[in-house]
Amino acid sequence: MFSDCKSLININLSKFNSNNIINMVCMFYGCSSLNNINLSNFNTNNVIKMGAMFSRCYSLTAINLSNFNTNNVIDMGCMFSGCKSLININLSNFNTNNVIDMGAMFDGCSSLTKINLSNFKTNNVIDMGLMFSGCSSLTVINLSNFKTNNVTDMELMFYGCSSLKKQNIITKNKRILNEYERDN
């Protein structure tokens, strides 16, 4: 819908009717100048795919998605990939029970210092490859709720996470720690 609107700086979608949308893939992809977005009234109840939704939004520093209903979403791959200015992101209400693709979800979010994923359920996730790759400012990450029994791809999951130390990865999952050690 707004893909590659490179000059778009500000957008207020508070009156936008999204009740029937099922696919938001690449909705704001490549909006490289976008630095303010109001999605407070977005209805995402029926959305199944959110892959690359905000990918390459280089100027976006904060985004509040606490109102997003992600109960039906199966694809979050590359959702924030390349959001290199993103400092703050609120995913506190994300329901990831049905998600199967989280590959490269935060890839290249080099300004992100922390992220709260404590409510993430990953029982059905198959792809976590490149999930945090290039998150060079990330210092702490809590993955204690991550279940990786069905994950088949963790390749380069933490590649380039140069500020993240092993002791700052909170996890009970040996597979995740092994992937981190391999990438670093």
For 88, the enclosing helix (H) or strand (E) is strand 88-90
pLDDT for 98: 97
Q: For residues 117 and 89, what is the distance between their CA atoms, to the nearest angstrom?
A: 11
pLDDT for 50: 98
pLDDT for 122: 96
Reported pTM:
0.93
pLDDT for 182: 87
Q: How would you write the pLDDT of the chain (184 residues) with one tens digit per residue?
A: 999 999 999 988 888 899 999 999 999 999 999 998 888 888 999 999 999 999 999 999 998 898 899 999 999 999 999 999 999 888 888 999 999 999 999 999 999 998 889 889 999 999 999 999 999 999 989 898 899 999 999 999 999 999 998 878 888 888 898 888 888 8
Six token digits for residue 31? 């909006």
Domains of the chain: 1-184 (3.80.10)
- DSSP per-residue codes, 98-159: T--B-TTTTTT-TT--EE--TT---TT--B-TTTTTT-TT--EEE-TT---TT--B-TTTTT
pLDDT for 136: 97
